[in-house]
């Protein structure tokens, strides 16, 4: 669940940051204007240079886009997650301020592509901040799309692509235009208000000067031509439906006439040279502009310059460039929205935007030797958007896709080869580990044999093994009364000694109980715990057995821990669930080092003392499952080094077949351990 949540949050952050960064990057001037709005809101607009705000706009866009791509590809997961967390924290604080104090109408998160209210922006940022918290907490849960060794390609190519994109769009025009003045837009329809919609009210104020006096006028009290135009601004005085184009107005500075309708309703082409402020306009290509004007005159195409500058700036421009085209006044913000170039050229026909050019990419004169109707620049290119999307795909999306595909194929191939080597190695190691893993035959005398009989049997087993060395470890587990005496007749190098039980208490008033410490003091090295008979007859619970195991290990005893299912559980196919639960309930609380002193004994309860025996295949299947459960808990190495014994009516006749299975490491023998010949026959199965 955490894995899915982390990757969902990662993809959400990546998508938002890639979109946000890209729309800012391809419109660096628009991003700069939004930064100017924020600086104005805090009273710092006059203290930061235009170059600094433009540089900040490009860096901000590149940072957002790059972080989004890095998050998508899970590059530098910890670092990128923390950077996104910091960025989202700052952005959320800013949008809190914007929401409560409303210094700007639109945060500009997605440039002109998507407009959000301040409330929507705050909600969006809170969601993204929570997503950032998730990826910061679990950064390594993010899946890599490209291997670590190839991530430098994505890192550098992303930065190169986005910076070049910003530079190109700054030099020419934004690759994608989301503003209401885009190519193909009908400016008249953009200004329409649907029938019945409440109409907002606007007021345009003109700042004029005369004889050293500066005053503001509206259209109602506009003065005579003896006044000199200084500035103009349009403000909304009453809320209502706001059409996409609501502030486009063309004023004649000579008489104050509004010629907007005349220009937009004119049949045929019109060139609009747009310069928000001529004081800051680039005059590098004024020659090309003048040539276009000459062409326009030859073909009776009107050309006018729209600007928010006053007479002084207009006169300066005319003197500098020799401009003969007329100048008209339009709101500066509107002009900045119309075209991201100062100056820029727009061609309209019947009120529809046909084409737009930056002053750096004006149409050449050789292409203007025929009427516009017969030239490509005089027609809207229906494939322009598709062509631009194709360019982005070919230059960025496709290379990264091919890199990802190649990297994944390479990684997959490498993984396959590694798996093959590992399987070969695993097979060799498995054989080797099986040889290294202790082979054990342990006898469980249960409540049989008096002291004299027990001593005799122990001595007989010891002598038999002394005469014919075993190929495995041998253990006999006796009742408590035998332990000290039997320890005296056994060669500990040949036969280990174990108890059949121990108490779950260290010491105290527990009449009839024998503690692990007492067992250890007799010379015993092992103890059987969890036997089905103890569970069934004496109600030993997993918690009781857990205490016994801990005390046995604490006192230096190795534990033979028994698990197994009843006949009903086997018939219900619940044997796997049962053995797993018994391990988890009593021994999986141990550390890997402690678990190394545990020998697992699987005893199918339905096969103990009944004469029934699980087939070798059944025994191998459950033994393999037990080893896999141990591997899940402690890892493959611990699992491979754990001896797992079979404890279900093993006899000399079936022991060789059982012991031949790779996951059966010996047996916990009941009735057959009470006769030396039978016990020795099972031990000798390891020699076959």
Positions at the binding site: 444-446, 609, 649, 670-671
CA 546 from centre of chain = 41
470 alpha-carbon distance from chain centroid: 57
Residue 453, helix vs strand vs coil: helix
Burial annotation 541-556 (CB, 10 A radius, 16+ → b, else e) = eeebbbebbbbbbebe
Q: DSSP string of 508-520?
A: SS-TT---HHHHH
Q: H/E element holding 270?
A: strand 269-275
Distance CA(358)–CA(360), nearest Å, equals: 5
- Catalytically annotated residue among 251, 533, 603, 620: 603
DSSP label at residue 103: S
274 SS3 class: strand
203 a catalytic residue = no
Of the candidates 246, 359, 531, 623, the residue annotated as catalytic is 531
Residues 479, 500 contacting (CB under 8 angstroms): yes
How is residue 419 annotated by DSSP?
H
Q: C-alpha distances in angstroms, 455 versus 202, 475, 501? A: 113, 15, 19
**Using CA atoms, how far apart are residues 212 and 549, in angstroms rounded to an integer?**
102
Q: What is the CA radius of gyration of the chain?
A: 44
Q: How far apart are CA 414 and CA 575, in angstroms?
A: 38
CA 485 to chain centre: 66
Residue 514 near residue 480, CB atoms below 8 Å: yes
Strands 201-210 vs 213-217: parallel, antiparallel or unpaired: antiparallel
Asked if 355 and 346 touch (Cβ cutoff 8 Å), the reply is yes
Largest CA distance in the chain: 136
Measure the CA dihedral 580/582/584/588, to 10°: -110
Backbone torsions φ then ψ of 352, nearest 5 degrees: -105, 135
294 noted as active-site residue: no
Contact 679, 465 (CB under 8 A): no
**Token duo for residue 575:** 């044997």
Question: Nearest-CA neighbor of 94 among 122, 60, 54?
Answer: 122
SS3 content of the chain, % helix, strand, coil (to 5): 50, 15, 35
Pick from 542, 547, 541: which is nearest to 506 by CA?
547
Tell me the CA end-to-end span of the chain in Å, nearest whole number: 50
Nearest to 670 by CA among 658, 679, 657: 679
- Full DSSP string of 138-199: SGGGSPPSS-GGGHHHHHHHHHHHHHHHHHHHHHS--SS--STTSTT-BHHHHT---TTPPP
Distance CA 481, CA 524 (A): 12
Closest CA to 162 of 10, 27, 50: 27
d(CA 545, CA 587): 8
**Cα 23–26–29 angle (5° rounding)?**
100
Enumerate the known binding-site residues for substrate. 444-446, 609, 649, 670-671
- 363's CB contacts (< 8 A; 6+ apart) are 292, 357, 377
Contact predicate 484/454, CB 8 Å:
no
Collapsed DSSP state (helix, strand, coil) of residue 15: helix
- Which residues are marked as active site? 531, 603
């Amino acid at each position: 669940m955490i894995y899915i949540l982390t990757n969902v949050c990662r993809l959400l952050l990546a998508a938002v940051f890639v979109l946000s960064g890209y729309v800012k990057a391809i419109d660096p001037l628009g991003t700069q204007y939004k930064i100017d709005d924020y600086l104005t809101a805090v009273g710092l607009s006059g203290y930061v240079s235009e170059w600094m705000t433009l540089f900040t706009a490009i860096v901000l866009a590149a940072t957002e886009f790059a972080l989004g791509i890095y998050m998508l590809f899970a590059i530098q997961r910890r670092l990128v997650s923390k950077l996104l967390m910091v960025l989202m924290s700052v952005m959320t604080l800013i949008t809190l301020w914007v929401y409560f104090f409303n210094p700007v109408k639109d945060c500009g998160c997605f440039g002109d592509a998507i407009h959000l209210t301040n409330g929507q922006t705050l909600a969006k940022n809170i969601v993204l901040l929570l997503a950032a918290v998730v990826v910061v907490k679990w950064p390594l849960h993010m899946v890599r799309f490209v291997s670590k060794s190839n991530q430098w390609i994505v890192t550098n190519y992303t930065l190169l692509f986005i910076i070049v994109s910003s530079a190109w769009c700054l030099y020419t025009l934004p690759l994608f235009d989301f503003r209401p003045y885009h190519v193909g837009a009908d400016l008249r329809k953009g200004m329409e208000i649907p029938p019945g919609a409440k109409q907002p009210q606007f007021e345009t104020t003109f700042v004029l000067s005369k004889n050293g006096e500066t005053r503001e006028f509206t259209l109602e009290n506009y003065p005579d031509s003896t006044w000199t135009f200084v500035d103009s601004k349009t403000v909304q005085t009453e809320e209502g439906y706001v059409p996409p184009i609501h502030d486009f107005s063309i004023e004649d500075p000579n008489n104050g006439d509004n010629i907007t309708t005349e220009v937009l309703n004119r049949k045929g082409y019109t060139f609009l040279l747009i310069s928000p402020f001529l004081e800051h306009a680039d005059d590098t290509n004024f020659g090309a502009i003048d040539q276009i004007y000459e062409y326009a005159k030859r073909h009776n195409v009107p050309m006018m310059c729209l600007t928010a500058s006053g007479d002084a700036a207009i006169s300066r421009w005319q003197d500098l460039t020799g401009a003969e085209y007329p100048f008209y006044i339009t709101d500066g913000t509107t002009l900045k929205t119309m075209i991201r170039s100062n100056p820029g050229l727009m061609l309209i026909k019947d009120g529809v935007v046909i084409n737009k050019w930056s002053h750096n990419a004006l149409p050449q004169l050789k292409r203007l030797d025929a009427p516009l109707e017969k030239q490509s620049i005089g027609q809207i290119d229906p494939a322009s958007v598709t062509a631009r999307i194709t360019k982005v795909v070919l230059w960025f999306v496709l290379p990264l896709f091919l890199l990802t595909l190649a990297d994944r194929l390479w990684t997959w191939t490498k993984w396959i080869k590694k798996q093959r080597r590992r399987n070969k190695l695993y097979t060799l190691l498995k054989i080797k580990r099986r040889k290294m893993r202790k082979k054990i035959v342990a006898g469980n005398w249960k409540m049989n044999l008096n002291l004299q009989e027990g001593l005799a049997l122990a001595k007989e087993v010891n002598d038999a093994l002394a005469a014919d060395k075993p190929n495995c470890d041998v253990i006999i587990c006796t009742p408590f009364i035998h332990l000290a005496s039997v320890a005296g007749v056994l060669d500990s190098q040949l036969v280990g000694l174990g108890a059949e039980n121990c108490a779950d208490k260290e010491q105290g008033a527990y009449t009839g109980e024998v503690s692990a410490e007492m067992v250890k003091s007799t010379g015993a090295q092992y103890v059987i715990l969890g036997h089905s008979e103890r569970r069934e007859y004496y109600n030993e619970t997993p918690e009781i057995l857990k205490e016994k195991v801990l005390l046995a290990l604490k006192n230096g005893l190795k534990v033979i821990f028994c698990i197994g299912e009843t006949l009903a559980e086997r018939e219900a196919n619940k044997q796997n669930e049962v053995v797993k639960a018994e391990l988890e309930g009593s021994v999986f609380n141990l550390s890997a080092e402690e678990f190394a002193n545990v020998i697992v004994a699987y005893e199918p309860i339905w096969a103990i003392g009944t004469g029934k025996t699980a087939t070798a295949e059944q025994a191998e299947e459950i033994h393999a499952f037990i080893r896999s459960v141990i591997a899940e808990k402690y890892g493959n190495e611990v699992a491979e080094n754990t001896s797992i014994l079979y404890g279900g009516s093993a006899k000399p006749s079936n022991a060789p077949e059982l012991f031949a299975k790779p996951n059966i490491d010996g047996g916990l023998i009941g009735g057959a351990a009470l006769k030396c010949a039978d016990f020795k026959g099972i031990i000798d199965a390891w020699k076959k």
